[in-house]
Structure 1
Amino acid sequence: MASYEALCVGSFIKRFNLELFIIIDAYDLPVTFHFKEL
């Protein structure tokens, strides 16, 4: 039972990290373009 809960938590964290990475990536694009212009 504990391993099943750990699997669910790991899957949730994995999905959350993926969404967080996409959000960071979206915010990071203008910064990257800004530094390329400099």
Structure 2
Amino acid sequence: MLAKTGAHHCSGNNIELGTARGKYHRVCALPIIDPGNS
């Protein structure tokens, strides 16, 4: 499944990525299974 996924590099840091997800810890990778229409 990972072979068919694309990669998007976030311009923020790992703390901002975790906060955007609603978590209060560092996140180094965030898989998106179904991006929907957003």
TM-score (norm: length of structure 2): 0.26
Higher normalized helix content (fraction of residues): 1
User: Bigger relative contact order, structure 1 or 2, given CA contacts below 8 A and separation 6+?
Assistant: 2
Rg comparison, structure with higher value: 1
TM-score (norm: length of structure 1): 0.26
